[in-house]
Amino acid sequence: MILSKSFRMSLDIKMSTEEIIEKVIAGEIKLHTIDKYVSPKEAVAVRRSAIAQLTDTGLDNIGSFTIDETQATARNIENMIGAVQVPLGIAGPIIINGEYAIGNFSLPMATTEGALVASTNRGCSVITASGGAEVRIFNDGMTRAPVYLARNASHAKDFINWINENFEILQAKAAQTTRFGELLDVLPFVVGNNIYLRFRFDTKDAMGMNMATIASEAISEYITQQCDIQLVSLSGNMCTDKKPSAINNIMGRGKTVVADVVIPGEVVILKLKTHPDNMVEVNYRKNLLGSARAGSMGFNAQAANIIAALYLACGQDAAHVVEASSAITTMDLTKEGNLYCSVTLSAIQVGTVGGGTGLATQKECLRMLGVAGSGQPPGTNATKLAEIIASAVLAGEISLIGAQAAGHLARAHKQLGRG
């Protein structure tokens, strides 16, 4: 393969790709500088060939993909050599009765865990037979929390008073950095002479971490110009981003979502092969008592499984599974002997624009759910996606607790050939 003419002319380079590969292997050209010599598509192939030789590994499968290299290397990844494929399955349809997600939905799930799609599919069938999942958003806002250093406690108190008095100015500073984002509120936390300001933003259809960070930087620049205060770090871990935390569980981050359903007793018996009271007991002793005894921050059976599969399929930041999976599952008997089931997810961070949502395969999954791109009005697509994910988690919880109540968990894995 010869270098593209445009790059040869612009850089006056007379090397073939084979020569570039040799220089990469010899350490004369670094992986991240290859893009200076060839087009993004060629750079991916050159890196892959060099790595194949350096590691003595055939990379033919990694080199087979449909992703647009130019787009991916510009927005999503560095030193790209190809793509890793994750099998994609479909669960559902599931009836969802949300404020934004209304109707029947088929759920795209990317996973390598056998039985996961089948389990979720069974939960979808149970929910649909029960009239659908009711789902609502109770809190919505992306956070970033810089840490500042004051001289002492008195100085810290004066600083917080100034923040409260000048909130509208801080809002205006944030607004200058984005067309869509809005600073909603600021919550201060103090440890000695350290002040953490937890900024919370409305980021519309974007997941919003970048938007929140850029706005927080602009606010912090203004703060340090106006106040005798030191900005230590733009993130002080009170956000809290990509880490399990009590603050996210209590106050929420991203979207706080609750999904629930009342399953008729006969549906439990017919579809789950167990009884409502058995599922209530399993949920209580497993998800609640067992999780509490273990010191878990999540009180659920498999929320992370479903969230991860949908996140990967729909171009979300997979690391946010950490926060999203700190969910609480409840199951109770109704007076009529039916089964009430709910999941509460305090920190679902999702977007339908930006990040991995622009990749072709992920965009197709978003289109399948009717949430690709910006909603009308802005923010409605991301909210709809959060409602869909919460409903899917509910389906997964119902299915797994049902299987354990019926003693079918191991049998299901054996039947599906999962080692």
168 is catalytic: no
Q: Are strands 328-333 and 254-263 parallel, antiparallel or unpaired?
A: unpaired
Domain end among 35, 53, 75: 75
Domain with 229 in it? 146-233
The verdict on 403 and 278 lying in the same domain is yes
Query: Which among 113, 277, 281, 364 is annotated as catalytic?
Result: 113
- The verdict on residue 26 lying in a domain is yes
Amino acid at 66: T
The verdict on 319 and 199 lying in the same domain is no
Give the pLDDT mean for 198-227.
Answer: 97
- The verdict on residue 240 lying in a domain is no
Query: For the chain, how many structural domains are there in total?
Result: 3
Q: Are strands 133-144 and 88-97 parallel, antiparallel or unpaired?
A: parallel
pLDDT > 90? residue 232: yes
Q: Indicate which CATH number applies to the domain containing 152.
A: 3.30.70.420
Q: What's the burial of 364, exposed, middle or buried (CB within 10 Å: 0-12/13-18/19+)?
A: middle
Q: Among 11-15, 70-74, 89-93, 153-157, which is the least confidently predicted range?
A: 11-15
The verdict on 334 and 372 lying in the same domain is yes
The verdict on 290 and 333 lying in the same domain is yes
The verdict on 128 and 163 lying in the same domain is no
- The verdict on residue 247 lying in a domain is no
pLDDT of residue 16: 84
The verdict on 306 and 350 lying in the same domain is yes
User: Are 164 and 185 contacting, i.e. CB atoms less than 8 angstroms apart?
Assistant: no
pLDDT > 80? residue 36: yes
Query: How far, in Å, CA of 419 to CA of 404, rounded?
Result: 18
- The verdict on residue 81 lying in a domain is no
Query: Which among 155, 275, 408, 413 is annotated as catalytic?
Result: 413
Q: What is the pLDDT of residues 129-173, one digit of tens each?
A: 999 999 999 999 999 999 999 999 999 999 999 999 999 999 999
The verdict on 226 and 257 lying in the same domain is no
The verdict on 265 and 136 lying in the same domain is yes
pLDDT of residue 4: 46
Query: How far, in Å, CA of 253 to CA of 75, rounded?
Result: 24
- The verdict on residue 204 lying in a domain is yes
Query: How far, in Å, CA of 232 to CA of 82, rounded?
Result: 38
The verdict on 364 and 221 lying in the same domain is no
Domain end among 179, 198, 233: 233
Half-sphere exposure of 353 (CA within 13 A, CB side): 16
The verdict on 336 and 383 lying in the same domain is yes
Q: Indicate which CATH number applies to the domain containing 283.
A: 3.90.770.10
Percent of the chain with pLDDT over 70: 94
pTM of the model: 0.93
Domain end among 201, 233, 265: 233
pLDDT > 70? residue 204: yes
| DSSP three-state, residue 135 | strand
pLDDT of residue 417: 53
Query: Which among 317, 332, 364, 408 is annotated as catalytic?
Result: 317
pLDDT of residue 17: 87
332 is catalytic: no
Q: What is the DSSP letter of 79?
A: S
pLDDT of residue 89: 98
The verdict on 136 and 150 lying in the same domain is no
Q: Taking each helix axis as running N to C, give the angle between helix 380-406 and helix 116-129, from 0 to 180 degrees, rounded to the nearest 10.
A: 100
Amino acid at 267: V
User: Are 70 and 41 contacting, i.e. CB atoms less than 8 angstroms apart?
Assistant: yes
- The verdict on residue 3 lying in a domain is no
275 is catalytic: no
- The verdict on residue 229 lying in a domain is yes
Average pLDDT score over the chain: 94
- The verdict on residue 390 lying in a domain is yes
Cis peptide before 120 (omega within 30 of 0): no
Q: What is the pLDDT of residues 292-347, one digit of tens each?
A: 999 999 999 999 999 999 999 999 999 999 999 999 999 999 999 999 999 999 99
Q: What is the pLDDT of residues 6-15, one digit of tens each?
A: 444 344 455 7
The verdict on 383 and 262 lying in the same domain is yes
